[in-house]
């Protein structure tokens, strides 16, 4: 992805590449799951797939290639779906991009107590300060994490926030897909 900002860390580059890909699809998209594979290993062990992905001529010796997986089912909770995933050894990590509504910290004190999940989601959706956000979270087998957040109201590659601990719950759920 030629417009992906350069980052020193291969995991950060992969997260930003996935964010750019999701951005190109527009908003109101379903969750998308990606396997992260070592690019050099992919070129060596799967040259046909590397060629299909346009990686055969890349000179970079370190990096991660995101490979989109089958559709994430929309009819079941994301945490339940993630609990069913197991990755083969060739997968170095995984990433997920998902859109959610969130409230700014200033509105958190207004949240009514005791709401169940669906009722809380409906309450947040009706709140005047709600913001739509696309979260891309990635984890590696070794525990490394990275996230990218993009607000719909600031939908620009220069406005993407990155950091390892931006979405800790989702990072934990993704890391659990590598546990035995």
How would you write the pLDDT of the chain (180 residues) with one tens digit per residue? Answer: 444 555 568 999 999 999 999 999 999 999 999 999 988 888 888 878 777 777 766 665 568 989 999 989 988 888 899 999 999 998 999 999 999 988 877 777 788 888 887 888 788 788 888 889 999 999 999 999 999 999 998 888 888 999 999 999 999 999 999 987
Do residues 107 and 131 touch, judged by C-beta distance below 8 A? no
**Which pTM was predicted?**
0.84
């Amino acid at each position: 992805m030629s417009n992906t900002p350069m980052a020193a860390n291969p995991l950060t580059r992969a997260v930003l590449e996935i964010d750019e890909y999701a951005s190109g699809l527009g908003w109101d998209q379903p969750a998308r799951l990606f396997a992260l594979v070592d690019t050099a290993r992919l070129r060596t062990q799967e040259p046909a797939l590397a060629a299909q992905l346009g990686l055969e001529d890349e000179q970079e010796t370190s990096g991660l290639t995101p490979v989109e997986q089958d559709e994430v089912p929309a009819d079941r909770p994301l945490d339940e779906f993630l609990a069913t995933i197991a990755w083969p050894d060739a997968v170095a990590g995984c990433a997920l991009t998902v859109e959610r509504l969130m409230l700014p910290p200033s509105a958190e004190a207004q949240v009514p107590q005791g709401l169940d999940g669906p009722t809380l989601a409906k309450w947040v959706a009706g709140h005047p300060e709600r913001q739509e956000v696309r979260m891309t979270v990635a984890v590696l087998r070794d525990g490394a994490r990275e996230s990218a957040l993009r607000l719909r109201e600031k939908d620009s590659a220069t406005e993407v926030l990155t950091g390892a601990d931006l979405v800790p719950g989702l990072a934990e759920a993704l890391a659990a897909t590598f546990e035995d």
